[in-house]
Structure 1
Amino acid sequence: MRWADAGGPGAAPPAVAAGLEPGRLAAGVQRRLGVPPSVARQHLLRSVRDLAFDLKIEQLSLLEAVRGSRLGGVTLSPTQVPVLLRVTLEADDPGVRVGVLLVDRWPGRLGRNWGVTSVYVSLFESVLSAFDAVLGRLDPTAVASFTPWWRQTGPGDVAMMQHAAGLANRAQAALSRHAGRLLDGDGQAQRQAVVTRTGGATFTFETADTVAEVPAELADGMLMVGTLIVSRPGGMPPKLVGQVQSLVFRVEERLAAGGVDRITVEPADVPAVTFLHQQARLRGLLPVRTLRTCTTCRLEKVANPEMERMQERTRRTRDLASSISGLVTPYVLAGRLVQLNNKGPKFACPRCQGMDADETVVTYCQKCGDRRAETALRTCPKCQFDFRSLIGAEPVWRPRAAAVPALAGPQPDGHPAPAARPATPPASVPGGSGVARPVVGVAAAPPPAGGPPVAGAPVPPAAAAHRPGAPAAPPAPERPPTGQPPPGYRPDPEAEQWPRPPGFPP
């Protein structure tokens, strides 16, 4: 394959790359295949590992990986310069559309000012050629429709910078053969959680009549389970697999578009959402292990991700503590940090010493201890233990909240009408005190003239004063005029010196 001619078809980058920062070096290609997205994704994952990229984001519709580092980029080697790889997959019945984007990862807008264009062009050619070879083997009939690659690299290097790049390449040959290990970037990082990164506490699936609010971490688990199911469906019904694939694609596209924490689904998607919610909850309760299968000799090795994380933390702490001393020069400290980041290969086969492996998630039966590698957990084939009994029947969907009844309109002064005060229970009702409590601030109407007083009704003070045999009410204490201190008030000399707010009486 070759680069697109200037001004010809395919020379302009697509819309996904049109928004790149000016001065960035980028290249890519768009391909359409007649194979299922899960098949294309599996082979693309293998190519990403073969090209020594470190996966940062692994979704059903998106693969994002990096290679190289800023420290290694000073050598201007195609295998050491920092680059970002972004692979997108979009279902196109009955096939898939694959997009490949490569962008430099220098902290500033490097462009052609530093003489690295030729290095990145060589890097882009090698990576795009590898992907085209894989996609061509998947669908040989689609090779004839492959368009040339596009690139955004400017007119070329400055001549003086090209000479500097040549000097750097010759200096690289004088480095030790082990220098590449010291200049490698950070190792493979943990896959980022796409829902949690939006910042919301929950993710909501909603239909016209019902809603399902899922915690963000559980929603990430649902996407992970959906990706596993589509990659290895096993004996699952094809219709359910298709619904899961369509749902995961739409959720990932919605999150990539604007990071919104809710999505509207069709009523036909309700079983798929419920199924993924159930499987994600099961995965959260069961032990999680990683099964690594060597791609060379097919030897299987089970690893505990939590134990590996603790071991790595302990190693880093020990190495960092041993490097601290009273006399540490910046050069020695930089060397220690490089050694700290050099973790070595993540996987090493004990039988053939291979360093590449296929990974999948496995768990164990809680009754018989048998290892279960299927993506959808139902019952254990060995002891017939029902995994779904661990979580019970928790409702996922709930009806939309009923409309809140309208309150009374605002009063003339702009305040809403006060709520009605509950009536005082009569003396015959259990729990009542038997004595009517006067309502503060509300004058009770006197009983009709000539009629007996009603039991339990509040008696106004005026009426009580005229009733025979009623004790006289004590006189109300007189309040001092506004602005005057109460009787017995003694001023505090220290408090008198404090500043007074505006309008405070002297």
Structure 2
Amino acid sequence: MSWADDNDPGSRPQPAVLAAEAGRLAAGAERRVAAPASVVRQHLLRAIRDLAFDLRAEQLSLLEAVRGSKLGGVTLSATRVPVFLRVGLEADAAGTRVTVLLADRWVGKVGRNWGLTSVYVELFGSVLSAVDGVLGRLDPAAAAFAPWWRQTGPGDVAIMQNAAGIANRAGAVLSRHASRLLDGDAATPRRASVSRAGTETFTFETPQAVAEVPAELADGMLMVGTLVASRPDGMPPHLVAQVQSLVVRIEEHLAAVAGTVGSAPAARFTVDPADVPVVTFLHQQARIRGMLPVRTLRTCTTCRLEKVTNPDLERLQERTRRTRDLASSISAVVTPYVLAGRLVQLNGKGPSFACPRCQGMDADETVVTYCQRCGDRRAETALRTCPKCQFDFRSLLAGDRPWQPRATQPTGVAAPATAAAPGPAPEPALPPAPPAPTVAPSPPPPGAPRRVDPEAEQWPRPPGYAPG
């Protein structure tokens, strides 16, 4: 694949994309792949990890990641300069629409002024080639992809070209002795969050009913929806598509109101009546997982060894380590330079995963829990019944009803009286007509079948549910 000609309008991105990245070195591409969005997302996540990017946002419709650092940019190495990656996923009738955007993370035009244009062009090309390679394996029609677009200007500033070459040679030495400092600190992938929207309650609305959900529980519903879309585990495809559609719409709603003032826009979300079983299912599963222990199952991508970890224990151990190291640094500090060096070491946590069998540092992660009755590990996405002891997880939610009818205007309340001008005298009242006889509706025949919605009946129901 090659770069598009500047005169080719078909490969240019939308003007809003170019305006948002004005002054930056940027590149990207738009692809259409004949594959489900969930499959495309899984393969792109693996490619992003293989390219040594750190995930910052992991949603169904959006993946954001970063690599490198401003300090690492002094080496002029394509693997260390700061770069931002955004991948958008949109399902359509033909498959999935994928938009890829790469941009430098310098302030203003620092990247071009420092003579980094050629470095970023090399970086953009390598990342886009890797993405096209993944998409090409999913769709045989990948050869018809349009060329990449880029926004890099006329080139490096002339006075910086020689300086860039000298710095590049010196950077090779610097990178060997300062790799721990330049790699930066890995962060936890950020998902769409209702809690960060500044609201305590998230309300789902239909014309007839409302469901008020605490913000933390709403975040759990999004997490469950992401798990269902990523690992359907035998659920019917049309039900998985409903879950994915609802989660994507919620993510887009939270992204649209992120810049608004106040929490009122983010606190209410209108759904269709067909989405009521989906919201009920996600609410049920999120509450069940909130009552059970949460563990992370990490599977080594090299030897497939499984390791179960406790996220709460890892956070507690990391907090204790940082507190101990900082206390020892302050007590033994001699100069500010020694203190600065010790503070830098606090960020050197090392890899978040190391396989004890093959020493691999890359793993696939998923959420698991344990049965309360027999202690068996359960890794399925939708928790229903333990296959070992037949414990029904839904029995933990007896009487759970998230949906409530809308409040109506109370009857019998007189409207406030208003002063009115005197009108003409009323005519004599006629005698009331006799009431029409009321006829009770005829009951259905004993053998008549009840009307059943086949799609609604496939959703899991809590124990004691009686169809109306």
The equivalences for 1:264-279 within 5 A come to 264-279=270-285
Q: What is the CA distance between 1:178 and its match in structure 2?
A: 4.1
The one-letter code matched in structure 2 to 1:279 is: Q
Residues 10 and 120 of structure 1, relative CA distance in 2, 3 Å threshold: farther
The one-letter code matched in structure 2 to 1:308 is: E
Give secondary structure in 1 for the equivalent of 2:381: coil
CA-to-aligned-CA distance 1:321-372 (integer Å, 9 cap, x gap): 1221475434323322221111111111110111111100000000000000
Q: Which has the larger radius of gyration?
A: 1
Contact 1:23 1:110 in 2 (8 A): no
Residues 15 and 280 of structure 1, relative CA distance in 2, 3 Å threshold: farther
Q: How many residues align?
A: 411
TM-score (norm 1): 0.78
Q: Report the equivalent of 1:161.
A: 160
What is the alpha-carbon distance in structure 2 between the residues aligned to residue 84 and residue 176 of structure 1? 21
Q: What is the CA distance between 1:407 and its match in structure 2?
A: 5.5
What is the alpha-carbon distance in structure 1 between the residues aligned to residue 99 and residue 224 of structure 2? 24
* 1:315 correspondence with 2:303: no
What is the alpha-carbon distance in structure 1 between the residues aligned to residue 287 and residue 32 of structure 2? 36
**RMSD in angstroms over aligned alpha carbons?**
2.0
Higher relative contact order (CA 8 A, sep 6+): 2
TM-score (norm 2): 0.84
Q: Report the equivalent of 2:77.
A: 77
CA-to-aligned-CA distance 1:147-202 (integer Å, 9 cap, x gap): 11111121110111121111111101223624222211111325345222211112
Q: Report the equivalent of 2:104.
A: 104
Give secondary structure in 1 for the equivalent of 2:372: coil
CA-to-aligned-CA distance 1:359-405 (integer Å, 9 cap, x gap): 00000000000000000000100000011111222211112221366
Q: Report the equivalent of 2:194.
A: 195
The equivalences for 1:270-419 within 5 A come to 270-325=276-331, 328-403=334-409, 408=416
Contact 1:111 1:153 in 2 (8 A): no
The one-letter code matched in structure 2 to 1:244 is: V
Query: After TM superposition, which residue ranges in structure 1, 4 or more long, deviate above 6 angstroms?
Result: none
CA-to-aligned-CA distance 1:80-136 (integer Å, 9 cap, x gap): 111111111111124111111112122444242222222111111111110000000
The one-letter code matched in structure 1 to 2:188 is: A
Q: Report the equivalent of 1:114.
A: 114
Contact 2:59 2:191 in 1 (8 A): no
Residues 258 and 38 of structure 1, relative CA distance in 2, 3 Å threshold: same
Contact 1:53 1:67 in 2 (8 A): yes
Unaligned runs of 5+ in 1: 412-506
Mean CA deviation greater in 104-113 or 115-124: 104-113
Contact 2:63 2:86 in 1 (8 A): yes
Q: Report the equivalent of 2:427.
A: none
Contact 2:21 2:103 in 1 (8 A): no
Give secondary structure in 1 for the equivalent of 2:369: strand
What is the alpha-carbon distance in structure 2 between the residues aligned to residue 312 and residue 327 of structure 1? 22
Q: What is the CA distance between 1:15 and its match in structure 2?
A: 4.5
The equivalences for 1:149-228 within 5 A come to 149-175=148-174, 177-228=176-227
Contact 1:117 1:153 in 2 (8 A): yes
Percent identity, aligned pairs only, is 74
Contact 2:74 2:171 in 1 (8 A): no
What is the alpha-carbon distance in structure 1 between the residues aligned to residue 414 and residue 360 of structure 2? 70
The one-letter code matched in structure 1 to 2:224 is: V
What is the alpha-carbon distance in structure 1 between the residues aligned to residue 405 and residue 380 of structure 2? 33
The one-letter code matched in structure 2 to 1:65 is: A
Residues 409 and 319 of structure 1, relative CA distance in 2, 3 Å threshold: farther
The one-letter code matched in structure 2 to 1:129 is: S
Unaligned runs of 5+ in 2: 259-264, 420-468
Mean CA deviation greater in 389-398 or 274-283: 389-398
Residues 120 and 329 of structure 1, relative CA distance in 2, 3 Å threshold: farther
The equivalences for 1:30-45 within 5 A come to 30-45=30-45
